[in-house]
Amino acid sequence: MGKKQGMPRTRMDELFALAEEHAGLLTSKEARAAGIQDSVLVRLAQRGRLERMTRGVYRIAHYPSDRLAQYREAVLWAKASQGPEDIALSHETALLLYGISDSNPSRVNLTVPTSARMRRQCPEWVAIHRAVLSPQDIGEHEGLPVTTVTRSIMDVLVATHRTDVARQSVSDALREGLLNNAEATRLRRFITRISSVSSPLTNGTR
């Protein structure tokens, strides 16, 4: 499959090629790098060929959406906002992506560098966390940058003191082969330490 034989390559062909990597999403930054100006994107959006998702992020109209679309949009928004590379989906969102938590966060959790200066207003459905992430803290899951299982569980525990969620996530991750026995043991010790300083009112409750 490809463009029709004998037909010149159009701007939409070029945008479609860019968007395929992100399941129909692209950024104005990527388009500019390909020689397509912002005014072209605006015009195509006005014609209904593109959908403006958030500032700097567009979606090819009628491109089939999937269950990961919102997560891709959050990552692209952050990169379009100021270009940090060391960003990752994190906290409860990461646990959900790994399939080791029943929690369904109301916002997409995204961790960016502490020094990142986000130039664009954060969408209401994105929760930004700031932390120093080393390359060892970031993995890839279904093509998305996600904090590792260990880092994700620790982040949720420190942020919420939900020891019940953390323990369940460790058990599920061990069963699914996402953690080995040594990693699970270290995490359980960490959970015990956090539990010992948690208030009885916050331990296991929201």
172-186 pLDDT tens trace: 999 999 999 999 999
- Total of domains in the chain: 2
Over pLDDT 90: what percentage of the chain?
37
Are 173 and 86 found together in one domain? yes
Tell me how far CA of residue 15 lies from CA of 25, 29, 160, in angstroms: 9, 12, 41
In this prediction, residue 110 carries a pLDDT of 94
User: Are 33 and 132 within one domain?
Assistant: no
| Domain around 29 | 11-60
Angle formed at CA 143 by CA 137 and CA 145, multiple of 5 degrees: 25
**Residue 103 and residue 36: Cα distance in Å, rounded?**
41
Shared domain for 82 and 39, answered yes or no, is no
In a domain, 202, yes or no: no
**Is pLDDT of 1 > 50?**
no
User: What would the pLDDT profile of 26-36 be if each residue is shown by its tens digit?
Assistant: 788 888 888 88
What six digits make up the tokens of 44? 């195509």
> What DSSP designation does 200 have?
T
Amino acid identity of residue 123, one-letter, is P
Q: Are 94 and 28 in a shared domain?
A: no
pLDDT in tens, 95-106: 999 999 988 888
For residues 86 and 30, membership in a common domain is answered with no
